[in-house]
Amino acid sequence: MIVLHGGPDFDHGYFLPDLDRLKDAFRLIYYDQRGRGRSAQHLRPEEVSLASDVDDLDKVRQRFKLDAPALLGHSWGAVLAVEYALRHPTRVSHLILMNPGPVSASDFALLRKVYLEKLGADMDHQREILASEAYKAGDPEAVTARYRIHFNPALTRLEDYERLMATMKAGFVGQGKDGIVKARAVETRLMRETWQLEGYDLLPKLRNLQIPTLVIAADHDFIPAEVADHIAHAIPNAKLVTIRECGHFAYLERPGEVRAALDDRFQSTRAAQRHH
């Protein structure tokens, strides 16, 4: 199972150690997408595109000599997983789209509307941080302060929120200012090629995708429920599981329910294969 992180300006570090709970059942392959984390050295943001991200994912698949691995994409990573699967449907055995980001410009607009409503007055504070010289320079403290606001409505329990923010802060410090600024520039490029591109819409294309798919949503995610619902209904062989009392980081907040959903999806696929 190749794991695709979100952001798209993050690296894979925020998954750990929580997603490693799955390693007794799956061989998990993590990597930092190009221009982010440990994949950022000796690289300019303009060298990164959606096409290069898709190509890099295929290189990871080839590096581990995998014919058709499962792809687990979280948030933005779900968008990358879908983009890859549409181009290379025979090279993916399963899609696991966890707390998926939008795959259409219209759903991204819906996300922005709901997000602004959830943040309320905190959005003004976030805008102040975004406009500050420290944030623009990639200062880890300023970046952490911004994401504390950004993810405040994204988790249901305070202890999970604080643990996630501690993990993310350590990641920002490890990246350093240059790494943060570079990853942010990569994010800008990728968003212009997807969510901010007029007419961007993968939903019609998904109707031809025959890959067994699990869409994991959550009832307290700051991404509207319609986003996951639209994806699940567009893919013919998709199952939508909505986890209760859970936010945007299902693998961290409700690991037992995530594991149960994965076990059920993979067992169902194996049973269908035996039947045929």
Tens digits of residue pLDDT in 164-199: 999 999 999 999 999 999 999 999 999 999 999 999
Residues 6+ positions from 24 with CB-CB distance below 8 Å: none
Domains of the chain: 2-115+184-275 (3.40.50.1820)
Name the percent of the chain lying above pLDDT 90: 93
| Distance in angstroms (rounded) separating the CA atoms of residues 228 and 233 | 9
DSSP state of 101: P
For tokens 């003004």, name the residue: 124
Order the strands of the 29-30 sheet from edge to edge. 29-30, 2-4, 71-74, 95-98, 213-218, 238-243
Q: Is beta strand 71-74 parallel, antiparallel or unpaired with respect to 2-4?
A: parallel
| Cα-based angle 5, 190, 209 (whole degrees, multiple of 5) | 70
> Is it the case that residue 271 has pLDDT exceeding 70?
no
| Distance in angstroms (rounded) separating the CA atoms of residues 26 and 70 | 9
| Distance in angstroms (rounded) separating the CA atoms of residues 106 and 231 | 13
- pLDDT per position as a tens digit, 137-158: 999 999 999 999 999 999 999 9
Q: How confident is the model at residue 275 (pLDDT cuts 50, 70, 90)?
A: very low
Residues paired with 214 in a beta bridge: 96, 239
* Reduced 3-state DSSP string for 165-185: HHHHHHHHHHHHHHHHHHHHH
- pLDDT per position as a tens digit, 212-223: 999 999 999 999
